[in-house]
Amino acid sequence: MVRTIAIASGKGGVGKSSVSVNCSILLSKLGYKVALLDADFGMANCHIMLDQKVDNSLHDVLENGAAIENIIYETASGVKLIPGGSGILELLNLDASKRWQIINALNPLKSDIDFLIVDTPAGGSDASIEFAAACENLVVVLVGEPTSFMDAYSFIKAMYLEKNYARVSVLVNLSPSESDARRSYNSFKDIVTKFLDVELEYAGWLPNSSEMKNSILSRKPVVLQNKPNDKILNKNFNDVAKHLENLQPCSLTGIQFFSS
Ligand SMILES: Nc1ncnc2c1ncn2[C@@H]1O[C@H](COP(=O)(O)OP(=O)(O)OP(=O)(O)O)[C@@H](O)[C@H]1O
Ligand SMILES: [Mg+2]
């Protein structure tokens, strides 16, 4: 059984791709076989974070009949990367049949991996909702700002109303401290549970760390640094990965990865 986890946020730029890349690597370090689907189609950037040169993407599967095996990149980090394509306009607005084609195209991976991590695009587009709902667990990345709260709430509301998605993990990024992160999480949980019948779980928190910024510039994910300077960042990333490892799958109907 492949465990499938979507990383989403509503608001852009809050750390979805950083969390997806680093947590995929940590799950792989825990001994799991992990694939990372960069579902930010047309604006994909996980390959940059992983310093992986990619020649092909899902565009080649959709338009040129390429087999999924031809666009799976075995990265130096140990994670298999399925790139979403960058600068390819046709991928920006996938219709329902193309989204279904992508979800289906991953089926051959079923016997090869333990985890599929899906880095979803920002916003509440059909693509964000459909790819998140195709996973049995959802992690929403939040930062302690009203705009992030609003967008994360809207995203969870759409998942609940459109897909009956009723359990969500919340990771607080860019937090000054553990107590601040807990405060943000509790305030957010109050808002969500007041209006929606959705159960929230705390997935952990990450500090605002210069090491994270530098890792993008050096194209070496923080959890692969030999001598991590930011001990809190590293410990917390490991805690988040453990949370992902122990998530209980939600029971869902509708189109799911690896369900056929
Ligand atoms: N904990 C952190 N500390 C410092 N910088 C961070 C942290 N998390 C993310 N960043 C920085 O924030 C920026 C956005 O991160 P990232 O690309 O992971 O976000 P995203 O949610 O995937 O964005 P998008 O919505 O554009 O896909 C990057 O420059 C990244 O280095
Ligand atoms: Mg991203």
Token readout for 56 is 């092909």
Q: Top-level CATH class of 3-245?
A: alpha beta
Which pLDDT belongs to residue 214? 92
Asked if the model's pLDDT at residue 203 lies above 90, the reply is yes
pLDDT at position 187: 98
Mean pLDDT of the chain: 94
pLDDT of amino acid 237: 98
Residues in Cβ contact with 92 at an 8 Å cutoff, skipping those fewer than 6 apart: 41, 42, 43
CA–CA separation, 57 and 42 (whole Å)? 10
Distance in Å, CA 17 to ligand 1 centroid: 7
Segment 140-165 mean pLDDT = 97
Instruction: Pick the ligand that lies closest to the CA of residue 38.
Output: 2
Percent pLDDT > 90 in the chain is 85
User: Which atom of ligand 1 is closest in space to residue 121's alpha carbon?
Assistant: 27
Query: What is the structure's pLDDT at 138?
Result: 98
Q: Evaluate if residue 76 carries a pLDDT over 70.
A: yes
| Six-digit token string for 212 | 């994270």
- Residue 82 and residue 35: Cα distance in Å, rounded? 7
Q: Is 145 left (phi over 0), alpha (psi -120 to 50) or beta?
A: beta
CA angle 190, 149, 246 (to 5 degrees): 70
Residues across the chain: 260
Pocket of ligand 1 (CB under 6 A): 9, 12-18, 40, 122, 173-174, 206, 208-209, 212-213, 216
Is residue 118 helix, strand or coil? strand
Question: What is the whole-number distance in angstroms between the Cα of residue 251 and the centre of ligand 1?
Answer: 30
How far does the centroid of ligand 1 lie from the alpha carbon of residue 165, in Å? 26
Q: Are 41 and 94 in contact (CB under 8 A)?
A: yes
Best of 38, 212, 235 for a ligand 1 pocket test (most atoms within 8 Å of beta carbon): 212
Is the pLDDT at 25 greater than 80, yes or no?
A: yes
- Whether 34 shows a pLDDT value over 90: the answer reads yes
Task: Give the number of whichever ligand sits closest to the CA of residue 141.
Answer: 1
pLDDT of 41:
86
- Span 79-125, pLDDT tens digits: 999 999 887 777 788 899 999 999 999 999 999 999 999 999 999 89
* pLDDT at residue 196, as a whole number: 97
Query: Which residue out of 11, 17, 18, 172 has the highest number of ligand 1 atoms within 8 Å of its CB and is therefore the one to mutate?
Result: 18
- Which pLDDT score is estimated for 87? 77
* pLDDT value, residue 103: 94
Higher per-residue pLDDT: 254 or 147: 147
Could you tell me the distance, in angstroms and rounded to a whole number, from the CA of residue 212 to the centre of ligand 1? 8
pLDDT at 121: 93
- Kindly report the pTM of this predicted structure: 0.97
Instruction: Name the residues around ion ligand 2, CB cutoff 5 A.
Output: 16-17
Rounded average pLDDT over 23-47: 95
Which ligand has an atom closest to residue 16 CA? Answer: 1
Residue 260, pLDDT above cutoff 70: no
Task: Calculate how far, in angstroms, residue 67's C-alpha sits from the geometric centre of ligand 1.
Answer: 31
Q: How far apart are CA 176 and CA 158, in angstroms?
A: 29
Spatial separation of the C-alpha atoms in residues 79 and 125, rounded to whole Å: 27
pLDDT digits over 158-188, tens only? 999 999 999 999 999 999 999 999 999 999 9
Per-residue pLDDT at 209: 96
- Of ligand 1's listed atoms, the one at least distance from the Cα of 21 is 18
Q: How far apart are CA 249 and CA 136, in angstroms?
A: 5
Distance CA 230, CA 149 (A): 27
pLDDT tens-place string over residues 214-234: 999 999 999 998 877 889 999
Q: Return the percentage of the chain with pLDDT > 70, whole number.
A: 100
Q: Edge to edge, what strands does the sheet with 73-74 contain?
A: 73-74, 80-82, 34-38, 115-119, 3-8, 137-142, 167-175, 199-207
Catalogue the E-assigned strands of the chain.
Answer: 3-8, 34-38, 73-74, 80-82, 115-119, 137-142, 167-175, 199-207
